[in-house]
Amino acid sequence: MSATAPENSPSQKKNVVIIGGSCVAIAATLTAKKILPSTHRLIIIEKHSHFHYMFAFPRACVITGWENELFVPYTKLFDSPEKGQVLQALATNITKTHVELDRSIDGFGTSVEYDYLIYGTGARHPEPGNLNDHDTKTGAIQRLKEMQEKIKRATKVLLIGGGAVGLELAVEIREHFPEKEVTLVHSRDRYMLSYKLGLHQRAADILKEFGVRQVTSDRVIIPEGGFVDDFKMIKVATRDGKEIESDLQSDLLSKLSPASVDPKSRLVKTKTSLQIDDDAFPNIFTAGDVADLEDVKTGGAAWRQGERCMRNICKMIENPKIQTAQLERHVPMPPQIFLYFGVARAAAQIKLLGFMIATSWTFLVKRFFSYNVHATRSWDWLGTPLTKETADN
């Protein structure tokens, strides 16, 4: 017979579960470490073995030898399983009380009970924006290396879709392989519609300097079965006409709460508290790319929303009778972005001295340059500082 579990051992604690282990989850976790009551622990369900630092994928498709820095182990995110755990599994169903998994995990079996849930499943972007289907570090690095080889072998490269990924990739290729012809086809007459016109103008100018052939206001007719060796940045329209390059991951939630998923955009409708817009589930929150919020879909916005979800959950744990109106309200974030154009150029929309500006002024933007697009910070977030020794973990 097994001994009785000590009080507050993992099995005694209630779970705050997060589905998706990316920006939303990391921000929520760092907040939880400061304020989550000891009655609860955090359980992240993520299908990848490592955190994907996708911000650097466009560069890593072109430049070889540092791919291992873009996949960070989850193993040190929590000091102990009593505080939290990352379960590598695919969430396959959500019930009123549990999240079901595609595999059995020690200590849990095939489902995880939740007291509170954050739905942060994000969006699937076409490769190379995301490497969704590569669940191990080795597999994901292998895929980046295949793309590098593909680009190296090509004489002409056609990029479809002038979002951040297409723009950055076009310049990376021209910078490292100036002999290759690069064409970027974009369906609108300007890039980065959700940002200032100045950002479009600066990006277009830099692409021109690098000799990228730019075709705007046009669509590529994709042959049946797709192109061989293409790089597609496919766009989908969102509710208010904004475009994002993605395939939203809202299906799981739509089974439990059809009311909370917009049938057209597939985004998850939220209250200002970031609870899903369904009174039957006040304990389910959502944030990040999958959430129907006014913010432009960025890691920065997902981060702020993830923090807010966790703060509101902690308020509810401390005062179960609290009303939605007493929870923190989400305020949309003005859109900011930094587009890396090779090693020495960039265009950004940033807040400076209280004003939102679009700039490509090298003197200003160069202070943000980093060969690995600041991937090192993600190792700090996840508790394993990046060194030569840890990079292959």
Ligand X SMILES: Cc1cc2nc3c(=O)[nH]c(=O)nc-3n(C[C@H](O)[C@H](O)[C@H](O)COP(=O)(O)OP(=O)(O)OC[C@H]3O[C@@H](n4cnc5c(N)ncnc54)[C@H](O)[C@@H]3O)c2cc1C
Find the angle CA(238)-CA(129)-CA(125) to the nearest 5 degrees: 40
Which one of residues 16, 17, 23, 267 is an interface residue with ligand X (CB under 6 A)? 23
The rounded distance, in Å, linking the Cα atoms of 237 and 265 is: 7
Does 139 bind ligand X (CB under 6 A)? Our answer is no
Which one of residues 69, 127, 289, 307 is an interface residue with ligand X (CB under 6 A)? 289
Which one of residues 299, 346, 349, 359 is an interface residue with ligand X (CB under 6 A)? 299
Closest CB 178 distance from ligand X, rounded Å:
23
Does 42 bind ligand X (CB under 6 A)? Our answer is no
Does 297 bind ligand X (CB under 6 A)? Our answer is yes
- The smaller minimum CB distance to ligand X, of residues 20 and 73, is found at 20
Stretch that binds ligand X, among 126-134, 194-202, 268-276, 354-362 (CB under 6 A): 126-134
Closest CA to 71 of 55, 87, 91, 90: 55
257 within 8 A of 278, measured Cβ to Cβ? yes
For the segment 1-20, give every residue that binds ligand X (CB under 6 A): 19-20
- The smaller minimum CB distance to ligand X, of residues 61 and 316, is found at 61
Task: Return the amino acid letter for 282.
Answer: P
Does 284 bind ligand X (CB under 6 A)? Our answer is no
Say whether the peptide bond before residue 258 is cis (omega within 30 degrees of 0). Answer: no
The rounded distance, in Å, linking the Cα atoms of 379 and 390 is: 9
Closest CB 275 distance from ligand X, rounded Å:
17
For the segment 74-93, give every residue that binds ligand X (CB under 6 A): 90-91
Closest CB 347 distance from ligand X, rounded Å:
12
Size of the site for ligand X (CB under 6 A): 37
- The smaller minimum CB distance to ligand X, of residues 193 and 322, is found at 193
292 within 8 A of 267, measured Cβ to Cβ? yes
Which one of residues 16, 17, 18, 24 is an interface residue with ligand X (CB under 6 A)? 24
Does 335 bind ligand X (CB under 6 A)? Our answer is no
Which one of residues 49, 121, 359, 384 is an interface residue with ligand X (CB under 6 A)? 121
Sign of CA dihedral 302, 303, 305, 310: positive
Closest CB 135 distance from ligand X, rounded Å:
8
Pairing of strands 181-185, 213-215: parallel
Which one of residues 32, 41, 42, 58 is an interface residue with ligand X (CB under 6 A)? 58
Sign of CA dihedral 56, 61, 65, 71: positive
How many CB atoms are located within 10 Å of the residue 110 CB? 13
304 Rama sector, left if φ>0, alpha if ψ -120 to 50, beta otherwise = alpha
For the segment 300-329, give every residue that binds ligand X (CB under 6 A): 300, 302
For the segment 180-219, give every residue that binds ligand X (CB under 6 A): none
Which one of residues 84, 120, 161, 342 is an interface residue with ligand X (CB under 6 A)? 120
Which one of residues 126, 129, 161, 162 is an interface residue with ligand X (CB under 6 A)? 129
Between the two ends of the chain, the Cα-to-Cα distance in Å is 38
For the segment 251-280, give every residue that binds ligand X (CB under 6 A): 252
Closest CB 78 distance from ligand X, rounded Å:
17
Closest CA to 166 of 56, 58, 299: 58
DSSP 10-39: GGGSEEEEEE--SHHHHHHHHHHHHH--TT
The rounded distance, in Å, linking the Cα atoms of 179 and 79 is: 50
Closest CA to 145 of 197, 67, 70: 67
Does 55 bind ligand X (CB under 6 A)? Our answer is yes
The rounded distance, in Å, linking the Cα atoms of 357 and 348 is: 8
- The smaller minimum CB distance to ligand X, of residues 322 and 357, is found at 357
Does 45 bind ligand X (CB under 6 A)? Our answer is yes
| Binding region for ligand X (CB under 6 A) | 19-24, 45-48, 54-55, 57-58, 90-91, 120-123, 125, 129-130, 132, 164-165, 249, 252, 288-289, 297-300, 302, 337-338
